[in-house]
Amino acid sequence: MTLTEPRPNALLSGAHRTQAGDVAPPLAAVGCCQDIPEHHHELEPSTEPQLRPGEILDARFVIREAVARSGQATVYRAADMLNGHRDVAIKVPLRKREVDLAGFSNFQHEEEIGLRLAHPFLLKFHAVEEGKSRPYLVMEYLRGCTLGHLASIRRPIAESDALKLLGFVCEAVGYMHGQGVIHRDLKPVNLMLCCDQTLRVVDFGLSAPPLRHRSVLAQLGNIFGAPEYMAPEQVENGPYDERTDIYALGCVLYELLTGSVPFAHESQWQSAFQRTTGDPIAPRKLNPALSPQAEEIVLHALQRLPDDRYPSMAAFRAELNAPDRVVVTGRCDRLRPPRFKVSFQGTPTIAGLLLGFGAVLFMVVLFLVLNAVPHHR
């Protein structure tokens, strides 16, 4: 990975000095990250007009190529003519998102958060002071691959490597928490491993301050995020705080160590709702080679109730960095299988049938009551 500009505080963020006295990058001691490939996911098709290679945006950014696309935006590699033609990433929302008030608000919110945060393991945003001809974000361009891609080609990832990687991520997310920001969408594709053996937490589109009290509006709102990595309180649209991100990273660690997400199910939403009623399969049942300490760490992060999880990212990171000091409490022996739960997201057919049956039953009862009342002429 070639950074757009030097990152500060490298020695305070996992880097160390070699015997020759040089500063080694943070992932140099992680076995699976010795040769990180550069990889781009296949672009999703789109019927919307796209920026073309060679096109100049706002007399400053020369578009080179589209490197990523989702249902929300397209990301381009571009050259910044005002800064030595350095590579930058430009995220442009799809036209349908530009005219959607909520979608556009989230896009602006992501830029505000990105410009406010400054940590070596968080994606760096660049401010564009001049007026923009259209909404877009400018960020450092990263060469490398996501943790999800690396795990898919180098599975299984060694226990020690997985713990070290998550320790670095905890440092970055813990910094976000210290700034009053909860990420709310931590998953392998939002963790970037760079070719220069550094890493970044990316995508702040769902990031927000903690919501410590349940509200009626929150309960009635939409559920955002990746269902397989959501905390139970997110699935139920409840309050969320720092421990919500701890649960998500527990899901990531579970997947790295076992090769499967917790609560694996063909339906993403059924997977999500299972975590509100039960516990995942013990990691060592899926990977007997794991140490009891690693299993203890994962299950501590994946407790259903936030009060039963690590109280902070610092506490989580401390055990990731010193697994030999972890006290095994037998959490694996107290796991309960999930109970079946009917929901419109997880079981839409059953929920719809029950709702329809309830409506018919109500009409029948109402008809009988009305006919039982004497009619007076």
Both structure tokens of 318? 């401390």
> Of 80, 161, 185, 203, which residue is the catalytic one?
185
Rounded Cα gap, residues 138 and 128, in angstroms: 8
Rounded Cα gap, residues 373 and 140, in angstroms: 74
Pure H helices in the chain: 95-98, 101-116, 147-153, 159-178, 216-220, 232-235, 242-258, 268-274, 283-286, 292-301, 313-321, 348-372
Cβ atoms 27, 199 nearer than 8 A: yes
For residue 87, give the H/E element and its range.
strand 86-93
Spatial CA neighbour of 345 closest among 252, 255, 271: 271
**Burial class of 339 by CB neighbour count within 10 A (0 to 12, 13 to 18, 19+):** exposed
User: How many CA atoms lie within 13 Å of 317's alpha carbon, on the beta-carbon side?
Assistant: 16
Both structure tokens of 217? 């509006």
Spatial CA neighbour of 94 closest among 81, 86, 106, 84: 106
Pure H helices in 212-347: 216-220, 232-235, 242-258, 268-274, 283-286, 292-301, 313-321
Contacts made by residues 153-156, CB under 8 angstroms, sequence distance 24+: 153/37, 154/32, 155/259, 156/257, 156/259, 156/287
**185 is annotated as an active-site residue:** yes
Side chain identity, residue 103: G
Using DSSP's 3-state secondary structure scheme, residue 186 falls into coil
CA dist 275 to 229, 306, 323, Å?
10, 13, 25
Both structure tokens of 319? 């055990």
Residues annotated catalytic, as ranges? 185
